[in-house]
Amino acid sequence: MIQMEGFKIRASRRLITMLMDYMVWFIYLGVVSVFSLGIPGFLSIINFSNIFLRIAAFGLVALGESLCLICGKFDLSVGSIVVFTGMLTGWLVITGESYTSGLGLNPYLGILLALTVATGIGAFNGFMITKFRMNAFLQTLAVMVIFRALALILTEGHSLYNFPRDPFWTLGSGRIWGIIPVCVLVMLVIYGIFHFILSSTRFGAHMYATGGNPYAAFVVGVNVNRVIFTAFTLSGFLSGFAGILLVGRLMMAEVWGGEPYLFLSFAASVLGGVSLFGGIGSLVGTLGGVLILETIDNGLHLLGISPFWIRVAEGLLILTVIIIYTIKVRR
């Protein structure tokens, strides 16, 4: 009798743990179900194609943020890197705008240079944090402010237009068979690569160890500084790549285009089960968090809800997830 009771308790705990581990996908199914009942055509291929088109840039930013969070660090500079990369790319490849000199470089060269700068920003964050023991929150906050201002200075506060169609439109808005967005395939490939790295390589194990207990990781031979430096460098690269995809989708570099990605990337990561204290989380969960937030945004827009109230709804969802996550940690 006692053994049976013990078995029931263990089974109940396993069920609760499983539900919490896969909570993000249950939430996603619930969100899709609610909107499909209230919005005609919500489940159409075209609508979901549009949702996936919008998640590509967002998903890459959230991926980079998740890498830093898994290492136990915050990266507040991701949104500014997205904006600055888009502005820098425009400044490098566009000519004829009255408010910017414009270098008129080959678009591919312009993209390569902009991505190099974005990666360098991430590497700078990692260098300052690991070599000078800068607080990650304050370091990336400073970089966020600096490059936000530099993006405005570079173009005198104007958004940039007249990007060449190739390769920007192809990469950011092109579709295979008229349905599957190219940028989504690129994002999924990148997610697949990093999922493999985190789940099946020694470096992935070192990232989790660094976030879980950096001192213990150091004692057993993990180069903690190198892991953290690499995480921030990758975050810079992924944010920069997101900036390129965003330019390709909009065919313009907006002054405030990537700014919301900072808080939304945190939200998607936490929603997907990534711990704010490091050492826990998966990119599959992060991708689920990205899908939830973008699906909510899409559904509420189709219902004619004001964008301001959409942000309120997303904030309430984030608060709910944080409460649930707190309960999970305490258990």
In DSSP terms, 160 is beta-bridged to: 253
For residues 319 and 6, give the distance between their C-alpha atoms in angstroms, rounded to a whole number: 34
pLDDT at 3 over 70: no
For residues 247 and 263, give the distance between their C-alpha atoms in angstroms, rounded to a whole number: 20
Q: What average pLDDT does range 120-126 have in this prediction?
A: 98
| pLDDT of 194 | 97
**Amino acid identity of 147?**
F
The verdict on whether omega for the bond into residue 167 sits within 30 degrees of 0, i.e. cis, is: yes
- Give the residue with greater pLDDT, 60 vs 313: 60
**Looking at residue 176, what DSSP letter applies?**
E
Q: Are 246 and 56 in contact (CB under 8 A)?
A: no
For residues 89 and 98, give the distance between their C-alpha atoms in angstroms, rounded to a whole number: 17
Taking Cα atoms as reference points, which of 63, 97, 69, 65 lies closest to residue 78? 65
- Give the residue with greater pLDDT, 180 vs 120: 120
Tokens for 113? 């240079």
Q: How many CB atoms lie within 10 A of CB 157?
A: 10
For residues 150 and 117, give the distance between their C-alpha atoms in angstroms, rounded to a whole number: 13
Q: How many CB atoms lie within 10 A of CB 41?
A: 9
pLDDT one-digit tens code per residue, 14-36: 655 555 567 888 889 999 999 99
Model confidence, pTM: 0.91
Residues 6+ apart with CB under 8 A from 139: 125, 128, 129
Tokens for 38? 């209230």
**Looking at residue 160, what DSSP letter applies?**
B
Taking Cα atoms as reference points, which of 38, 22, 12, 59 lies closest to residue 249? 59
The torsion defined by the Cα of 282, 286, 86 and 79, in degrees rounded to 10, comes to -100
- Mean pLDDT in the chain? 87
Q: Are 265 and 78 in contact (CB under 8 A)?
A: yes
Q: Which of 159-168, 224-233, 278-287, 297-306 has the lowest mean pLDDT?
A: 159-168
Helices and strands in the chain, H and E counts = 14, 2
Top mean-pLDDT range of 16-20, 43-47, 177-181: 43-47
For residues 4 and 156, give the distance between their C-alpha atoms in angstroms, rounded to a whole number: 72
pLDDT at 237 over 90: yes
Q: Are 290 and 195 in contact (CB under 8 A)?
A: no
| pLDDT of 181 | 87
In the numeric block, the tokens 């997610």 are attached to 191
Q: Are 115 and 85 in contact (CB under 8 A)?
A: yes
pLDDT at 1 over 60: no
For residues 104 and 67, give the distance between their C-alpha atoms in angstroms, rounded to a whole number: 35
